[in-house]
Structures are given as C-alpha cells and as structure tokens.
Amino acid sequence: MLSRRFLRVKAFQALYSYFQSEDRNMKKLESETFLSLERMHDLYLFFLTIGQELTHLSELKIEEARKKRLPTEEDLNPNTKFIDNKVFALLAENVSLKKQVQDKKLSWSNDQELMVKFNAYLRKHDVFKKYMSTRTSTFEEDQKFVVSIYKKVIPEFELLLSELEDKSIFWGLDEIDFVLSMVIKSIKKFSEASTMSEPLLPLYRDAKEDKKFVKDLLSKVVKNDKVNSQLISDKTKNWDVERIAMVDILLMKLALTELLHFNAVPVKVTLNEYIELSKWYSTPKSKVFVNGVLDKLVLELKENGKLKKMGRGLLEN
C-alpha cells in the first residue's frame, strides 16, 4: 500500500518536526513515525466501510417510505439499485475487512449525523443521479459508481474531510488524498469473480524491508546531521544560509543520507524523489535550487569515491 515515495514523505515530515522541537528523542521520533503509518491503514479500512453505512441509511429510508399512511408507487416499489450495489456487497462480506475493522474497533457509529449529511449530499450529486437513472446495473457499472464516490464525491464534501482531520492528527489532507487513491486501487481490483476472501492492500509492500528503510533513514539523517550540514554549506557559500528554506535543507540532508548510506538505491532514484518532494513542500524555485546543489554534491562524492552503490543501486536509468 505505502510506496517508497510516501515512506520518504512521512520520514521527511517526522524529521521536520524533530528538528523544530527542543525535545529531540530518537525513540519518540521512530514510534510516532510508525504510528502515523499505522493510522494511514486505519483510515484505509475506515473508508472501505463507508458503503455499508450509506446502504444501511438507504434501507432505513426505504422502510420509512413504505410505512407511510399513503405510500406512493415509488414508495412501494423503490429503486434498490444503490443498496444492491455488488461492490458494496463484496466489501460488506469481505472476511479480512470485517476482522481488521473489528480488531481495531473502527466504526462510524459515533458519526451518524455526519453520515446522514453525507448521504444527503451524495443523493444530490450528479454521480448518484446518473447511476440511479436506471434500475439495473452490471458489475462494471457498480464498480465505476463506487470509484466515483471515492474519486469525486468524498473529496468535494469538506465536512467529512474536516471531521476526519479532527479525529486524528495523522489524518491530514495529504494522507486522506493518498488513502483515497489506495481505496480506489482496491476497488478496481475487484471483479465479478471476487469472493469474500478477496485480499485487501497490506500496509507495507514488504513489511521487513520497508520498516528497515524508514528506521534507517530516520536514524542516519539524525546521526549524520553535522556532516551533511557541512557538505551542504560548502556548496551554498554564495547563498545566505538563513534565507535557504529549512525544508530545502532537510530534503537535501535526506538525499545525502540515501546517497551515502543506502547502497541499493540508485543515485537517480534518490535525486528524482527529493527534487519531486521539493516541488510539493517548498517554494516554486526550490526544485532548481535543490537540483543544482545535489548535482554538485553527487559530482564531488563520485570524484572522492564516496558513492558506493551495489546491486540495484548500480542502475543509472
């Protein structure tokens, strides 16, 4: 589920807070970083159960309509396409999802008012109206509709996003966007042949390797802070150090750490990753600045024989 890029992002965010804090505790840095990653998976599971809440509310609405003193034809013969959605049914029956949600005690039960408001918002949305314009559907149509809820409807419903941010300090907009993309990826993997045993995305692609990558990145950036600071300073002598964004300096420290201490990571991968992150988190000119400084550092490290890559790290594509 979590790509190496996102692991780098979480390491960067954690280290930014660490260096800003007066209480610099390495164990706390590691534990909070891994806790934030665990909470990402909780959010993934949480989002996957939203369909159950919505279909339940729709069932209640249908029952209420049928019990009217003078029910209409539509009340007596409602369009049940939404509550019969095959993808929602697969998620509701998914063994892994049910177990993980139960184990982690994840539930929308304390957010019923929010769900009612979201359900009302969904019903007014063009995505819902188009889907409900007919009474029957194929699996592909059901799947496309559910993807649209996560891709279009949820990101537009600001109340839901703000409520999630309030629920956890680890559920910011960046995290929500990433998790929604993972939910969509999971939904797209379903097919008509899928069963209740369909596997969900794990938190890590390779738990042992990914955890080691994050832990080593955090510890080595901290351990080599003075050395990295000097290397960067030597290549930015014509710049006013105080005017260089802290974000840029930290990104270059992360890049230097990978270049010098992660022998299996190709140089170009490291450079591309941190230059990309500079576009996300720093100033418009940061990409050019960070790229220029890192290019000089790589050239010097190669000349000094300090870039020691092996295996996959030797790749230069």
Q: Outline which parts of the chain fall under CATH 1.10.940.10.
A: 224-314
Nearest to 190 by CA among 198, 180, 202: 198
β-bridge mates for residue 2, sequence order: 204
81 CB-side CA count, 13 A: 19
**pTM of this structure:** 0.88
Position of tokens 């270049």?
Answer: 259
Per-residue pLDDT, 307: 87
**3-class SS string, the chain:** CECHHHHHHHHHHHHHHHHHCCCCCHHHHHHHHHHHHHHHHHHHHHHHCHHHHHHHHHHHHHHHHHCCCCCCHHHHCCCCCCCCCHHHHHHHHCHHHHHHHHHHCCCCHHHHHHHHHHHHHHHHCHHHHHHCCCCCCCHHHHHHHHHHHHHHHHHHCHHHHHHHHHHCCCCCHHHHHHHHHHHHHHHHHCCCCCCCCCCCCCCECCHHHHHHHHHHHHHHHHHCHHHHHHHHHHCCCCCCHHHCCHHHHHHHHHHHHHHHHCCCCCHHHHHHHHHHHHHHHCCCCHHHHHHHHHHHHHHHHHHCCCCCCCHHHHCCC
Token pair of 256, please?
Answer: 């230097």
Per-residue pLDDT, 238: 74
- CATH superfamily of this structure's domain 224-314: NusB-like (1.10.940.10)
Token pair of 198, please?
Answer: 């369909």
Average pLDDT, 10 consecutive residues per value, the chain (317 residues): 92 95 92 95 96 94 81 79 96 96 94 96 97 95 98 98 95 94 96 92 92 97 96 83 81 96 93 93 86 93 86 59
